[in-house]
Amino acid sequence: MITLDLDLSYLCANYNIAASSLSLYKNKSITQIMQTEAEQGNQKAAQFLLEILSEPDELAKLFQLFNPKNRFLILINMNEEDLMKVMEYLQTDEFILGLSILNQKAIVDLMMFLKPESLATVVLEKMDCDKFLKEIPEKYLDEFLESDKLDRDLIMKAMEDVDEEQLQKMMENWTGQSNYEESDSIMEKLSSLSDDDFMRAVHNFEPKGKRQLISNIIKEKPELFEEFSAEAMVHPFTTMKKEDILKSLKVLEPEEFLPMINELPQEIMALVATQINPRIFSQVLVRDFASVIAQCGINLG
């Protein structure tokens, strides 16, 4: 059984039950109370289940679902699968409020479970691509350049707008020679290389050159930003305040939070779900969770 802090005075006021009778019903469930009252001729009590089914707000008032403690007591008794069903009814602000109970590191860790397109949306809402590229370590730049979504023609085109100084440094790093060459000459040499040698040359850009190159690639094909790993995309958030991270998440649609929430321990998941609108929660309970309502003392039959 789930023991809630119920408003029994609501039963008395709305179902013609004498307050003096409550002591007689001390050890009975709400369903048993209503059945007893109905058998004694209380027509209002006889309509109780019908009203609960047709007006879920009545359940919200009786179970005092406006009290987050009662919502939590119900939710903590659900399994993870059922909790995730409830999560489908939360709004963005409610998810953010629920996540605010976690510390900064835990939120950043959870962000890694967002879908790539969702995580990219969060990052680019907080900063532009060039700022992002400046904030991540070089290893993430190299990982991006290894993506199989980047073809050689695209890289060559992006390289055309890389500073000549950066092209020169790349050639020096790759060949070990410091001879000056015109950009056109460098591009011609690069175009004649095998694919493996071409990529070796690309990885010999200085970090500044890699950032310019990647920026040009993403300007040409913005969707390729999603080729950064989740670890790379959350890196700038590791030094942000929790409040700023939560603000960044406001750009997400409610369903986009679900991959994050699915990774939470059951108790924390229940705490997040507690943020659900009480009226919506009562509707969900009546429609989908008759067995849970029964645990609270009302058998919907």
pLDDT along the chain (301 residues), means of 10: 76 82 78 85 82 80 91 95 97 97 97 98 96 98 96 95 93 85 88 93 96 97 97 98 97 97 96 96 92 77 50
Q: Residue 136 has which token pair?
A: 């991540």
Cβ atoms within 10 Å of 289's Cβ, excluding its own: 19
Q: Note whether 113 and 178 are same-domain residues.
A: no
In a domain? residue 205: yes
- The C-alpha atoms of residue 243 and residue 209 are separated, in whole angstroms, by 34
Length of the chain: 301
Longest dimension (CA), the chain: 104
153-184 burial string, b = 16+ CB within 10 Å, else e?
Answer: eebeebbeebeeebbbbbbbebeeeeeebeee
Contact 299, 31 (CB under 8 A): yes
* Total tally of structural domains belonging to the chain: 3
Q: Note whether 197 and 171 are same-domain residues.
A: yes
Q: Note whether 33 and 71 are same-domain residues.
A: yes
- Looking at residue 8, its pLDDT comes to 73
Provide the residue range defining the domain that includes 214: 137-227
CA 198 to chain centre: 39
Q: Note whether 42 and 161 are same-domain residues.
A: no
- Amino acid type, 127: M
- Looking at residue 167, its pLDDT comes to 93
In a domain? residue 128: no
- The C-alpha atoms of residue 236 and residue 213 are separated, in whole angstroms, by 20
In a domain? residue 202: yes
Q: Note whether 109 and 161 are same-domain residues.
A: no
Contact 157, 238 (CB under 8 A): no
For residue 59, give the 3-state DSSP assignment.
Answer: helix
- Looking at residue 27, its pLDDT comes to 75
28 burial type by CB count under 10 A (0-12 exposed, 13-18 middle, 19+ buried):
middle
Q: Note whether 73 and 38 are same-domain residues.
A: yes
240 burial type by CB count under 10 A (0-12 exposed, 13-18 middle, 19+ buried):
middle
Q: Note whether 48 and 12 are same-domain residues.
A: yes
In a domain? residue 73: yes
Cα 134 to Cα 108, 130, 137, 208, 235, distances in angstroms: 19, 6, 8, 8, 11
Q: Note whether 240 and 260 are same-domain residues.
A: yes
- Looking at residue 178, its pLDDT comes to 79
Q: Note whether 103 and 169 are same-domain residues.
A: no
- Looking at residue 220, its pLDDT comes to 96
In a domain? residue 301: no
Q: Note whether 169 and 103 are same-domain residues.
A: no
The pTM is what? Answer: 0.85
In a domain? residue 168: yes
Of 167, 194, 227, the domain-final residue: 227
Q: Note whether 49 and 13 are same-domain residues.
A: yes
In a domain? residue 132: no
Tell me phi and psi for residue 104, to 5 degrees. Answer: -60, -45
In a domain? residue 201: yes
Q: Note whether 25 and 170 are same-domain residues.
A: no
